[in-house]
Amino acid sequence: MGRFLRVGLSGGLATGKSTVLAVFAALGARVLDADQLAREVLAPGTPGHLEAAEIFGAEVLAGDGSIDRAKLAAKVFADPEARRRLEAMVHPEVLRREQEWREQVEASAESGVLVVDATLILELGRSRAYDLLVVTVCPEEEQVRRAVLRGMSAADARARLAAQMPGAEKASRADLVIDTSGSLAQTQARAREVYRELERRRAALNTT
């Protein structure tokens, strides 16, 4: 059985992690979006949904009874205690599902590159769970601009950024950095370059 290279992909709000993850997937990586896992944890009918509704009240619910993620985010990023309560509720289940997924992938008879996209890898002290940490970065004003284009208010974007580790600090603790401040084509080219390095390191794992 081969050895998978475990890669954490992190970065702040609107720094292009999804774009990079898509490039990695197209090049053959096994990928997991931890934010998607968090959405599943809060999906209608789940214990997480019921607990969130009980803790945060009807004000975070959409008309169909589902969690309105924009309303929930606005609430928790404005209130550190509310954010801690949400994280304590969601993160353990996300990590359990990530571990389950990783074990299933690594039980295969092949090696490869395994990438988990998660914003809070460093904030949660999870970097040691991976062989390498890749971080996406761009200037804070560009993060705000992109977030606003996605429909978020500038105030909400800045509140989220204030709750996250600064991009410069994340970059200083990364093994590989992808600057996404340029064009989409430039970001994709840099992602391909980084993936070639990941493949080189994966190959080295399987020759030792």
Instruction: Give the C-alpha separation, 24 to 22, whole Å.
Output: 5
| The pLDDT value given to residue 74 | 83
Residues 6+ positions from 37 with CB-CB distance below 8 Å: 93, 94, 97, 98
- How do the pLDDT tens digits run along the chain, 208 residues long? 568 999 999 999 999 999 999 999 999 999 999 989 999 999 999 999 999 989 888 889 998 989 998 889 888 888 889 889 999 999 999 999 999 999 999 998 788 999 999 999 999 899 999 999 999 999 999 999 999 999 999 998 998 899 899 999 999 999 999 999 999 999 999 999 999 999 999 999 888 6
Report the C-alpha gap between 97 and 103 in whole angstroms: 10
Q: What is the pTM of this model?
A: 0.91
CATH code linked to domain 4-205:
3.40.50.300
Distance (Å, whole) CA 74 – CA 118: 20
The alpha-helical segments, DSSP class H, found in the chain are 17-26, 34-41, 47-56, 69-77, 80-106, 140-149, 154-163, 167-172, 184-205
Type and span of the H or E element at 133: strand 132-137
